[in-house]
Amino acid sequence: MTAISSDDAQLAWANLVRSGTAVMQRVENDMKKQGFPPIAWYDVLWELEKAPDGRLQQSEAQSRVLLAQYNFVRLLDRLQEAGLLRRVPCKVDGRSNVLHLTDEGRTLRRAMWTAYDAAIAEHVGAHLSRQETGQLADLLSKLLPERPKLAFKARQSGRGRGA
Amino acid sequence: MTAISSDDAQLAWANLVRSGTAVMQRVENDMKKQGFPPIAWYDVLWELEKAPDGRLQQSEAQSRVLLAQYNFVRLLDRLQEAGLLRRVPCKVDGRSNVLHLTDEGRTLRRAMWTAYDAAIAEHVGAHLSRQETGQLADLLSKLLPERPKLAFKARQSGRGRGA
DNA sequence: AAAGATTGACTACTCAATCTTT
DNA sequence: AAAGATTGAGTAGTCAATCTTT
């Protein structure tokens, strides 16, 4: 918790950015080679599948995948266009939608997971021991002190995972 | 180096992606609030400033910032448009350019660094002890076994740092 | 006014194709 | 043919403004 020299922090930062982007690129690349859509699609499908009946408030889904609202809306357009989910007006709150996962959505999510799991194992698991992996997960979690529910506007470029 | 269960790797992956993107977003957001351009600009300017006379082969600069070629070209268009660098045809190799850092480029890089350094200290350094920071840097570096010079086409969305 | 969602216009990224030089 | 660089067309992300409901 003590403040450290900026040099140390910069080294950790540089490695975080380098490793983070490189690993993400490799995993996404593996998926793409197999003809799968971006991982952002997986994230949304997975949030829906975790929810009861595969249904979730649009605003709730948005906050879970850490995407900005305008970004999320356009992502949903594509997912709906592909027949993976439907937007159904919410009966309780007229402002909101409820997202419904379709059978096609479930099928695709399952298929993506096979490739996704393998890619993670290859690009993360294969390079670290069990102990190291635990340490890494622990250290990284310390970088996220507050988990702002909707406090700030997430701005991304197709990232924002969360397997 | 031993293979581990995919569950452990998935947890590390999830944290890596979450922390990595969250920290990057926060740092970039701090910079933007102060009116600075994207960090990708900083990366290029910094590579030029490190080079002798502020001059570097375009292809060499590209490989160092880990951007795809077509992505890098358009980034250079913007930097040149902003007067931060110039593209000068290479006398030795007619196919290539030499990038020249301008005085405006040096000035902006220096100004950006002040904000950048502070943001890294706040979003990385403040959350970890010196020992933890070292551990983190070490673990992350293990995720980058081969450092492909130009072996694969980096595909990014404005990321790809390296302070 | 605030929350949820969406749209238009703009910017940035991506892929494939192209051009020049080696 | 290969390396370095660039462009056109299409896709995706971004910002500000808008609309509806609460």
Nucleic strand C under 7 Å from the C-beta of B10? no
Residue B161 pLDDT grade (very low, low, confident, very high; cuts 50, 70, 90): very low
State pTM to two decimals: 0.84
Q: How far is the CA of A65 from the C1' of D22 (A)?
A: 25
- According to the model, what pLDDT value does residue A19 have? 85
Q: Please tell me which residue, A1 or B8, carries the higher pLDDT value.
A: B8
Contacts of B19 in chain A (CB under 8 A): 16, 20, 140-141, 143-144
| Chain B contact set for A6 (CB, 8 A) | 117, 120-121, 125
Per-residue model confidence as pLDDT tens digits over B38-47: 999 999 999 9
Coil, helix or strand at residue B88:
strand
* Region for B28 from its dihedrals, namely left if φ exceeds 0, alpha if ψ lies in -120 to 50, beta otherwise: alpha
A70/B contact by beta carbon, under 8 A: no
Answer yes or no: are the C-beta atoms of B128 and A136 closer than 8 Å: no
Locate A125 and state its tokens: 């698991």
* 3-state secondary structure (DSSP) of residue B80: helix
Band (A155; pLDDT cuts 50, 70, 90): very low
Share of chain B above pLDDT 70, in %: 85
Q: Any alpha helices (H) in chain A, and if so which ranges? A: 6-33, 39-50, 58-64, 69-81, 103-123, 130-141
Give the closest of B23, B28, B129 to A143, CB-based: B23
pLDDT in tens, B101-156: 999 999 999 999 999 999 999 998 999 998 999 999 899 889 875 544 333 334 34
Question: A29: which 2 tokens?
Answer: 């690349």
Distance of A131 CA from C5 C1′ (whole Å): 45
Q: What is the pLDDT of residue A127?
A: 92
Please give the pLDDT value at position B150: 34
A125 vs B66: CB contact, 8 Å cut-off? no
Per-residue pLDDT at B149: 38
Nearest neighbour of A24 by CB, restricted to B17, B130, B141: B17
Provide the mean pLDDT of chain A.
85
Instruction: Give the per-residue pLDDT at B16.
Output: 82
Is any atom of nucleic acid chain D found less than 7 Å from the CB of residue B73?
yes
Whether the per-residue pLDDT at A54 is higher than 60: the answer is yes
Pick the range with the lowest mean pLDDT from A54-58, A94-98, A143-147.
A143-147
Residues A79-104, mean pLDDT to the nearest whole number: 97
